[in-house]
Structure formats: C-alpha cells, structure tokens
C-alpha cells in the first residue's frame, strides 16, 4: 500500500469492478476507483456496533490528496472520540423539517395537552406564519437570526408576533426532547418579545344601563334568542369567560355557586350573587339538554355568540365593546366598590396575582373619593362654627 498522492492516484488503473487502495501512513484513509473512471477519497471505520462504515471525502481532482488526508485525519480523530460521520450524514438527510415538526407537535403534544381553543390558535399560527416562513428548513438548522426575522416581520402586530414566537419556542423545546436538536439550542432564546398594550375597556354606569335596557327590549321583542340574552347577563353578573358560560351544565350549579371541573386555570368555583341566581332561575331547562345556554341543536350548547353580540352592542350604542370586556367590567365594578385585588382575583379565578394587578390603577378612584370625604370632614371640623 503506497502513500496516497496525486501521482499514485492518477496512476491507478480502471477495472471492471470497484476497488480500494488504502494509504500506507494513515489507517482508514483510502481512495475508491470505479469502472466509470471516477476516483474518490474516503475513510473507513467501525461504528459502535462494530459495523464497517465508509464516508466519502470528495472526488479526486476536485479535492487534492493532501486536502483529503487532512480531512480524513480530523474525522478519524473525531471517530475515536465517539463520532459517527456516516450516521450523522444519514440522520441529517432524514432530519425533520419544520413543517413535519409542526405536525408532530400538533399530533403528539397539542392534541393531548391543550384545550380546543388553544389547539385552534396554535394551528392558525402554524399555518399562517410558521410554515410559510420556515417550513422547508431542517429543524436542526433553524437559527436565532431566522426566528428574529420572522418575529420582526410582524412588528406592527406585536400580539401576533409574540404569540408566534411563543409557539415556536414550545416547538423547539420539544424538538430537543425528541432528539431533533441538541439540548439548550432553542433558537427562540434571547429574542425579545414586543411590548403589548393591554386593552382596557370597561362599562361605566351609563353604558351598563344602556346595555341592560337593550337586553330587556330585545327580550320583549324576541329579536334575539333568549339563550344569547341569558348568556350576556350571566357574563356581566359573574365575570366568567365566554367559554365557561357557553359550556355551563346544570349539574355544575351547586346552590349559590358553580363548580367548573375545567377552565383556563383548571377546576374552580364561581360564587353567584343574587342577580345571577335570578337569571339562572328564569332559564327553562330543556329535556335531554344538559347545558344552561342551550343551542339550536338537540343536546348542544349555543356555539355562536359573536353574531348576536355584534347586533346587541350596535343597538346599545357600544360598537367597540368586546364580549371579554364584560369580564373586565365585572372586575372594575368590584374595584370601584372597594373590593381588594386578592378578593377580585378569587372571584375571577385568576391563577396569578399579576393577572389581577392590571386592575390596580382603578382603585385610585374610590381611594380619591374616600380621601375627599375624609378631608372634607376634617375641614368642616376645623372651620369655626360661625363660618359654617
């Protein structure tokens, strides 16, 4: 076995079958000569299973013998430390692309761990934003720069940009768990979210009066379904989320409270005031329908609240009011009456104190009013009687 040089490789004769010539100085380094006349450098080694593996280093003439030798020495040294370049090449060729990771994520994680509304939102982010931008990329090749570019593309929609970043981050964390990326390589790390301005819309007393009058008028005229009207009344009187009222079953009502076995924050109890109990008491139970807010289909709950809500808010002169703002209005009313933030958090079923803290500034109004009353009382007491 001679040392492989340009001269020795050039001199190799073509035969009817492939054959190999191995280097005399570097074990495992060789050249393969094919019947076509093609000559290519390669290394040969044994993997952990003691199977013989080969990996090409380049075509003779494109890669010089010295260049191939240098690369062979590096790769053989890595193999001695546990590397397997042939397997890595095969795995890379079969490595999942982002679009296949998305489907794996939806099938094996989201379907089993997320609520239907969350599943729908993840699917939307994947189909509209993630796959069009990164779908064809290999999972292991996605860089922080690519993620940052996708995030920045929607800078004018900070909420959407941040939600997409959040979905990507969960996916790449799972990619590490599933062995598709090295540990600690999540490309979403250090990509800063945009500041989001939380929408704060609360009904004042005049608006509450208008909404109440509109519901009473529509109930009398029969222009809107009784189920939709009942749902809105329960939303404003309990502070519940829309999904909690839509899927409320009669069996969940226990005396003066509701026991929800599942909600956004897990199982929780909702305490009912007299007004809410009065609304519930007026709702007719339908045979063979377990839901309080019954839909048009037998045994089903009302699924579409957006269309009737748009008509109701327009008639009440509240075109910018969202259904979720009814929950905010419940909280703002509680703050205005002097209820503490921890108490409001319990009423709303918040799992984190920070969520309720968004209402803290609303406490300024009753505090100012109290300060006015106290200071006025003191001022009167300090004023000489003849000047009162």
| DSSP three-state, residue 206 | helix
- CATH class name, domain 98-177: mainly alpha
Name residues whose C-beta falls within 8 Å of residue 228's C-beta, 6 or more positions apart in sequence.
Answer: 302, 305, 308, 309, 312
Say what the pLDDT of residue 369 is.
64
Say what the pLDDT of residue 92 is.
59
| DSSP three-state, residue 363 | helix
With CA atoms as reference, report the closest residue to 169 among 144, 152, 198, 149: 144
CA pair distance 20, 361, nearest whole angstrom: 80
Domain with CATH 1.10.443.10 in the chain: 205-367
Say what the pLDDT of residue 70 is.
93
- CATH class name, domain 6-94: alpha beta
Say what the pLDDT of residue 308 is.
94
With CA atoms as reference, report the closest residue to 163 among 109, 122, 104: 122
Task: Give CATH for domain 205-367.
Answer: 1.10.443.10
Residue 195 near residue 283 (C-beta atoms within 8 A): no
Say what the pLDDT of residue 380 is.
75
Say what the pLDDT of residue 376 is.
77
Domain with CATH 3.30.160.390 in the chain: 6-94
The string of DSSP codes covering 84-152 is -HHHHHHHHHHPPBHHHHHHHHIIIIIHHHS-HHHHHHHHHHIIIIIHHHHTTSBGGG--HHHHHHHHH
CA pair distance 359, 345, nearest whole angstrom: 10
Quote the distance between the C-alpha of residue 269 and its chain's center: 26
Cα atoms in the Cβ-side hemisphere of radius 13 Å centred on 288: 4
Helices (runs of H) and strands (runs of E) counted in the chain: 18, 7
pLDDT tens, residue order, the chain (388 aa) = 789 999 999 999 999 999 999 999 999 999 999 999 999 999 998 876 678 888 899 999 999 999 999 999 998 888 887 777 766 666 556 568 999 999 989 988 999 888 888 899 999 999 999 999 999 999 999 999 999 999 999 999 999 999 999 999 999 999 998 888 899 999 999 999 998 877 678 888 889 899 999 999 999 999 999 999 999 999 989 888 898 999 999 999 998 888 888 777 678 888 888 898 999 999 999 989 999 999 989 999 999 999 999 999 999 999 999 998 888 888 877 777 777 767 777 777 776 666 666 666 565 666 666 667 777 777 677 777 665 5
Question: Angle at CA 205, nearest 5°, toward 202 and 211?
Answer: 80
Residue 215 near residue 312 (C-beta atoms within 8 A): yes
Residue 300 near residue 290 (C-beta atoms within 8 A): no
Say what the pLDDT of residue 68 is.
93
Q: Is 179 left (phi over 0), alpha (psi -120 to 50) or beta?
A: left
Domain with CATH 1.10.150 in the chain: 98-177
Question: Angle at CA 243, nearest 5°, toward 238 and 249?
Answer: 75
Name residues whose C-beta falls within 8 Å of residue 128's C-beta, 6 or more positions apart in sequence.
Answer: none
- Work out the burial of residue 286: count CB atoms within 10 Å of its CB; fewer than 13 is exposed, 13-18 middle, 19 or more buried: middle
Say what the pLDDT of residue 289 is.
94
Q: State the first-to-last Cα distance of the chain, in angstroms, to the nearest integer.
A: 120
Residue 219 near residue 338 (C-beta atoms within 8 A): no
The string of DSSP codes covering 3-67 is PP-HHHHHTPPP-SS-EEEE-SSSTTEEEEE-TTS-EEEEEEEE-TT--EEEEEEEEBTTB-HHH
């Amino acid at each position: 076995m001679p040392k492989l040089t340009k001269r020795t490789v050039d001199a190799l004769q073509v035969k009817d079958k492939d054959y190999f010539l191995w280097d005399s100085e570097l074990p495992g380094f060789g050249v393969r000569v094919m019947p076509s006349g093609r000559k290519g450098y390669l290394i040969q080694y044994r993997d952990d299973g003691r199977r013989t593996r080969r990996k090409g280093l380049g075509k003779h003439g494109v890669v010089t013998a010295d260049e191939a030798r240098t690369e062979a020495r590096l790769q053989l040294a890595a193999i001695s430390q546990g590397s397997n370049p042939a397997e890595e090449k095969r795995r890379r060729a079969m490595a999942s692309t982002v679009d296949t990771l998305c489907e794996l994520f939806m099938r094996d994680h989201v379907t089993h761990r997320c609520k239907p509304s969350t599943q729908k939102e993840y699917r939307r982010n994947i189909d509209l934003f993630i796959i069009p931008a990164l779908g064809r990329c290999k999972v292991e090749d996605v860089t922080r720069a690519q993620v940052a570019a996708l995030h920045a593309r929607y800078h004018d929609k900070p909420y959407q940009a941040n939600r997409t970043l959040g979905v990507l981050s969960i996916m790449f964390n799972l990619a590490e768990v599933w062995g598709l990326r090295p540990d600690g390589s999540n490309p979403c790390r250090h990509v800063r979210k945009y500041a989001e301005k939380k929408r704060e819309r609360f009904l004042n007393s005049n608006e509450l009066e208008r909404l109440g009058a509109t519901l009473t008028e529509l109930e009398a005229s029969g222009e809107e379904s009784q189920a939709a009207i009942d749902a809105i009344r329960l939303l404003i009187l309990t502070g519940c989320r829309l999904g909690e009222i839509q899927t409320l079953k009669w069996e969940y009502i226990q005396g003066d409270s509701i026991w929800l076995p599942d909600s956004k924050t897990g199982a929780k109890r909702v305490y009912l005031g007299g007004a809410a109990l009065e609304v519930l008491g007026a709702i007719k139970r339908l045979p063979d329908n377990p839901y309080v807010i019954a839909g048009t289909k037998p045994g089903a709950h009302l699924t579409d609240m957006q269309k009737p809500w748009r008509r109701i808010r327009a008639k009440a002169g509240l075109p910018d009011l969202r259904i979720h703002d009814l929950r905010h209005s419940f909280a703002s009313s509680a703050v205005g009456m002097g209820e503490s933030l921890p108490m409001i958090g319990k009423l709303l079923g918040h799992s984190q104190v920070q969520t309720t803290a968004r209402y803290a500034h609303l406490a300024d109004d009753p505090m100012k009013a109290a300060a006015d009353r106290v200071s006025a009382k003191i001022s009167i007491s300090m004023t000489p009687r003849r000047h009162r």
